[in-house]
Amino acid sequence: MLVNLAEILALTKDKKAAVPAFNVYNMETVMGVIAAAEEVNSPVILQGYSRLFDSDNGYYLTAIMLAAAKKATVPVCVHLDHGAGLPEVMRALHWGCTGVMLDRSTLPLEENIAASREACELCAHAGVPMEGELGHIGAAKDGVSTEHTRTDEAVRFVKETGVAALAVLIGTAHGRYKQAPVLNIARIKEISEATGLPLVLHGGSGVPDDQIQASIDAGIKKINFGTDLCYSFLDEGFATSRELVGIDMFMRGPVEAVKNFALSKMKLLRADTIL
Ligand SMILES: [Zn+2]
């Protein structure tokens, strides 16, 4: 069933579990994720990266995500990931997303707050809850930032913007890590208690399992997996015989690989205990 971002995150209230959010790109990655969610009865967030919302990719992808969400036996949120600005947010709302992220985290605090509040108000008119980002979560190839989101700034950001969820910079980055990241678990706990809001961990691919679980115990409620889902799909595709010409048959292996990847993360996040 289709639910919005606030509704799906509310399911984790008082539970030591988080909702997995998977970046999907096509029908097959959607099918793999949904098959996993239904198998272990886990809520799940399907999300499309901002770049896709600058072209027809987002138009088609959102339609596929929505079709899957409406048919699914588990709660599914359809989300814009790292919305770069109002054009992407507008398209996400128009195409039917039930969650939106605006990422203006590279701006100074005042400007990030102003931009996030504006987008939040816009989304509120459509009844769509928003995720904001405070502290820029960069690319792992550039090195992981040792500066972390400040608690006092998080409290102010949440109060002045009206976001329903907050992505924090606490030791992760996007892409493949050169060395295992070390998360600031104490800061997650502090921000969680001070804001009372579901917190979001970006750059979940490559974070050691024990740190993922410690971050959940400290207040992380949504964890994003992008890079490793892509590799699960692509590696299986490259290993598939060229003799398989029917594209649906060619895609069976990659869909299964995505499903198995999603299953492992749902269990790691204890998402199979939420419902
Ligand atoms: Zn991210």
CATH of the domain at 138: 3.20.20.70
Helix (H) or strand (E) holding 200, with range, is strand 199-201
Number of domains in the chain: 1
Q: Which amino acid is at 128?
A: V
Rounded to the nearest 10 degrees, what angle do helices 109-125 and 151-161 cross at? 40
Which pLDDT score, from 0 to 100, does residue 30 have?
98
Under 8 Å CB-to-CB from 135, ≥6 apart: which residues?
105, 145, 147, 148, 149, 150, 168, 169, 170
Question: Taking phi first (over 0 means left), then psi (-120 to 50 degrees means alpha), and beta for anything else, what does residue 205 get?
Answer: beta
CA atoms of 48 and 46, how far apart (whole Å): 7
> What is each CA distance from 56 to 51, 53, 88, 174, in whole angstroms?
10, 7, 12, 25
Ion ligand 1 contact residues with beta carbon within 5 A: 202
Which pLDDT score, from 0 to 100, does residue 129 have?
98
Which pLDDT score, from 0 to 100, does residue 81 have?
98
pLDDT truncated to tens, each residue of the chain (275 aa)?
999 999 999 999 999 999 999 999 999 999 999 999 999 999 999 999 999 999 999 999 999 999 999 999 999 999 999 999 999 999 999 999 999 999 999 999 999 999 999 999 999 999 999 999 999 999 999 989 999 999 999 999 999 999 999 999 999 999 999 999 999 999 999 999 999 999 999 999 899 999 999 999 999 999 999 999 999 999 999 999 999 999 999 999 999 999 999 999 999 999 999 99
Interval between CA 229 and ligand 1 midpoint (Å): 13
Annotated active-site residue 235? The verdict is no
Which pLDDT score, from 0 to 100, does residue 210 have?
96
Residue range(s) defining the domain that contains residue 226: 5-273
Other CB atoms within a 10 A radius of the CB of residue 9 amount to 26
Interval between CA 137 and ligand 1 midpoint (Å): 7
Which pLDDT score, from 0 to 100, does residue 24 have?
98
Which pLDDT score, from 0 to 100, does residue 197 have?
97
Of 81, 210, 217, 228, catalytic: 81
Exposure string over 203-238, b if 16+ CB within 10 A, otherwise e: bbbbbeeebbbebbebbbbbbbbbbbbbebbeebee
Which pLDDT score, from 0 to 100, does residue 29 have?
98
Which pLDDT score, from 0 to 100, does residue 79 have?
98
Task: Give the residue from 223, 219, 215, 183 showing the smallest Cα distance to 198.
Answer: 219
Among positive and negative, which fits the CA dihedral 153, 155, 160, 165?
positive
> What is each CA distance from 102 to 43, 144, 168, 235, in whole angstroms?
22, 21, 13, 31
Which pLDDT score, from 0 to 100, does residue 4 have?
98
Which pLDDT score, from 0 to 100, does residue 185 have?
98
